[in-house]
Chains A and B, each alone.
Chain A
C-alpha cells in the first residue's frame, strides 16, 4: 500500500469522524469502567484494574521476548538456527509461575464475591419484574407498585429530532431509594429473561421467569444513576433502560406517602361513571405504553408475528373474549396477561382498541367499563 494512499485514507477517516462527531455529543474518553458509588462497586473496580495491570505486565514481558526474537533472530541476522528444545526446568517454571499469579488474583476476587453474596434482608425490599420492554417495581413493605417505561421519543430514535442528553437512558418514572439504607432487590421476569444492570452499584442480575434472584446495595450519595437491560429480550431489548434515583430519607418518605395517596385515588376511580370519550382518551396513552411495540400505532400488528387488532373479530364483536385475553394472555404466544394493570387502565385500553381504527363502526362498538373488569375478577363458581 503506498504511503500516499494511506495518508488520504487517514484523512478521510478523520474527516468523517469530525463531521459526524460534531452532530452528536460524544466522548472519546469513555474508555474504562466507571468506579461506581458503592463500596462494592469500588471494590469491583479495584479488582478490575488490578487484573488489568497484571495482564498488561504479563503481556509486556511475553511480547518483549517475542518482538526481540522477531527483530534479532531473523534469517538475515541469525542464518543458522539454534537446535535447543525441551527443558524440564523451563517448562516447570512457566507452569508454576502463572499458577501462582492466578492464585494471587483469585484471593481478592473470592473475597469480594463473598461480600457480594452477603444476602441478609434489606431495610427496604423491592421486587423488580422485567417485562417486554419495561420494568415494574414493587415496594414490598409499602405496597407501592408502578411501571418504569422507556421515555425516549421515537422521533429521536428515528433521527427526526436531535437526540437529548439522556438518549435511551431515560424513563417515565424512576425507582426511588433512600440514601444510606440497605436496599434489597428481588429480581424476576414476567415473560422472557431480562437482566437488571446498574453499573454504578455493580449489580447485574438476570431476571428470569419463575425465579427470584436477589441483589443488594447501600448507596450513600444521592443522585440519578442509569443502567440498562443486558439480556437479549426481543425486539426492543436495546430500548429498556434502568434508572435509579437515590434521595435523602425525608424526601423518600414524602414520596412514599404521595404514591400511597395516588393509589387510593386510583381505586376510587373504579366506581366512577365513565363516558366513552374519557375511556378512549385514557386508553390511548395506555395503548402507547403497553401495546404499541407489538400491535403498532395503527393497530395492524406485524404480519406473521403480532396479530392485527384493527378489524379483528375479537375487537369488533367479542367483548368477553377481549377481556379474557388481556386478563389471561394467550397460551403459547407472545401475548401475556396484563392483569397487573389497574381496572381503570384495562377497561380504558380495551375500550380504546374497540373504538379506534374504525373498529366501532365495523363492529358492535361496545365499551368496557372498570366495573366489567371487577366483575371478571370475581371468583367464578
Chain B
C-alpha cells in the first residue's frame, strides 16, 4: 500500500486542462465527481418533470392530460431515471470527490476506468430517453419490468431499454470496483479500517453490494433479451418457463439496490449531525456494525416484495421475520444519531436542517416499512399507494435529502464559496413542506384502497390526490431554487475558510478551500 504512495514523485503541480477536453479526458477524481453530480442533477430534473406529468394527470379523477399508454411510460421512466440516473450517480459523484480526500489519497485508484465509468452513462440515458420517440413508445411496464409484460407484451423499444440497463450496470460495477480498490489500497498511513470516516465505510459496503447484485440485474435483462429475440422461455409459462422466477431474480438485485441508495446517506448524515452538534458521534463502531448487518440482511429479504405471488407458508414466515429483523440495526443508527445530538451544542445551518429532516422522515419511512413487512397486513398494502408513500419517504426525504445536505455541507470545500444561507434555508423549508404534502396523503389513499400505477382512480380518492399533486408541484418548483443556489455559489459568494464549519472533523477540512486540483500528493500525517 505504501509503495504506491512513495512512488508518486510527480511533483510538478499542473492545473486542469482548458476547454471541453478537460471534461472529456479528465482522470481527476474531483472533475469526475463534478461531472457525476451535474449529470445526476440533470437526470433529477428530467425525472422530476415526469413526476409532474404523473401528478398533473392524477390531480383529478378522469383522464385529462395524457393517455394511459403514455402515463405508463412516464411512471416507468420516472422510476428508472430517478434510481439509476438521479440517486446512484449522485452518490458516486460524492464518493469521487470525498473518498480520496477523506482517506488522504491523491486520487482514485483506477483513474482511467473512473473516466470511462462516467462517460458511458450519458449514452445509457440517451438511449433510454430516445425510446420515447420510437414507434410503440418508451418502456411502459414499470421500473420493475415484470415479465411477461416486459417481454412478450412489451413495445419494441424494450431492446433499447435492455441495452441501456446493461450500460448503467457496467458503469456502476466499474465505479464500485474503483471505490473498493481505492479504499483498500490507498488509505494514508495511520488510517486503519476502524478509523475511516463513516462515509467511507458506508461506501465500502455499498460498493460490495453493487458488485454483488448488478451482475444479477444484467443476467435478468439478458434472459429477457433471449426470450424476446432468441426464442427461449425463461419467463414464458407457455414454453415451460416461470414468470415468478423473473421476480425472484429481479428482487435479489432489487432489495440490496434499496440499501445501495440509502447506506451512503447514512454516512453523510452521520458526518453532518456530528459537525453541527459539535460532539463526537455516539457510537462509531456500532454504526459500522449496523451498516454491515443491514447489508448482509439485504440478501435474505428479497421476497417481501413478492408476498402476493403465492409463496408457500414457510417462505412467507421466513421473509417476514428476516425483514422485521432489519428494524434492529436501523434502529441502532437512529438512536445513535439522536444520542449524538443529545447534550451537544447544536446549530441549524442548512445541511443540519436537511440531516434532521432525514432522520425524522426516514424513520417514518422505516415505520411504514415495518408495517409492510407484516405479511397478512401486506396483503392489503401491497401495490397500493401506501407502498408508494413508503418508498418515496425513504428515497426523497431519505436518499435525496441526504444528497442535498451533502451538497450544502461540502460545496464550500468544492468551490471555495459559501452558499447563501438564507436561500438555503428557504429551499429546505419549501422542500420539507412540499415533500410531506406530497407523500403523507399517499398513506391515506393507499390504505383507503387506491392501487399504484393507475392513471385514474375512483372518486373517494379525489381529495387527497389533489393535495398530493399540489405538494408535488411545490416540491418540483423548489428544486429550481436549488439549481439557482448551486449556480450562484459556484459563480461567487463569501469566501469559505479551510475549516468551513466550526465542528467539522476529517482530512478533507485540512486542505484549502477550494480544494486544490491535486490533494495529498504526499500522504498526510495521522496520529
Contacts and interface: CB of A to CB of B under 8 A. Distances in A.
Interface of A: 1, 13, 16-17, 20-21, 24-28, 30-34, 43-44, 47-48, 51-52, 55, 58-59, 62-63, 65-66, 69-70, 73-75, 78-87, 90-91, 94-95, 98-99, 102, 105-106, 109-110, 112-114, 116-117, 132, 156-159, 163, 165-169, 191-193, 195, 197, 199, 202-206, 208-211, 213-214, 227-239, 302-305, 332-334
Given A30-B448, A78-B344, A202-B380, A159 B325 contact: no
A238 to B, nearest CB: 3
B310 interface: yes
Given A232-B146, A234-B153, A169 B458 contact: yes
B123 interface: no
A163 B61 CA distance: 9
B208 interface: no
A98 B330 CA distance: 10
Interface string B305-321: 00011100100110011
A98 B367 CA distance: 12
A32 B448 contact: yes
A377 B286 CA distance: 70
A269 B460 CA distance: 43
Nearest to A333: B152
B453 interface: yes
B509 interface: no
A24 B459 contact: yes
Nearest to A170: B458
B280 A210 contact: no
A85 B277 CA distance: 13
A24 B320 contact: no
Contacts, number: 320
B198 to A, nearest CB: 13
A109 B244 contact: no
Given A197-B451, A206-B309, A69 B346 contact: yes
B382 A230 contact: yes
B514 interface: no
B23 interface: no
A92 to B, nearest CB: 10
B515 interface: no
A47 B320 CA distance: 14
Interface stretch (B29-37, B89-97, B357-365): B357-365
Closest CB pairs A-B (n = 3): A210-B237, A304-B135, A238-B454
Contact of A75 (B308, B331, B346): B346
Interface in B446-498: 447-449, 451-464, 466-467, 470
Contacts of B286: 86, 91
B458 to A, nearest CB: 5
A167 B341 CA distance: 51
Given A48-B380, A66-B360, A237 B454 contact: yes
A84 to B, nearest CB: 7
A195 B135 CA distance: 29
A266 B317 CA distance: 48
Contacts of B242: 210
Nearest to A166: B458
Given A21-B463, A113-B376, A232-B146, A204 B364 contact: no
A33 B134 CA distance: 41
25 contacts: A1-B426, A21-B466, A30-B445, A30-B448, A73-B277, A73-B344, A74-B347, A85-B284, A95-B332, A112-B376, A159-B63, A167-B459, A192-B146, A192-B148, A193-B148, A205-B310, A209-B237, A209-B238, A230-B382, A230-B452, A232-B141, A232-B142, A236-B68, A305-B155, A334-B153
A25 B382 CA distance: 26
Nearest to B317: A110
Q: Which of A87, A102, A116 has the most chain B CB atoms inside 10 A of its CB?
A: A102
A58 B364 CA distance: 11
A235 B320 CA distance: 32
Interface in B121-180: 134-137, 140-142, 146, 148-149, 152-153, 155-156
Given A203-B379, A206-B309, A192 B238 contact: no
Contacts of B360: 63, 66
B371 A55 contact: yes
B63 A157 contact: yes
A90 to B, nearest CB: 7
Given A75-B346, A158-B62, A232-B453, A44 B380 contact: yes
Interface in B293-349: 308-310, 313, 316-317, 320-321, 324-325, 327-328, 331-332, 334-335, 338-339, 341-348
B506 interface: no
B338 A65 contact: yes
A199 B451 CA distance: 11
Nearest to B342: A69
B456 A238 contact: yes
B291 to A, nearest CB: 15
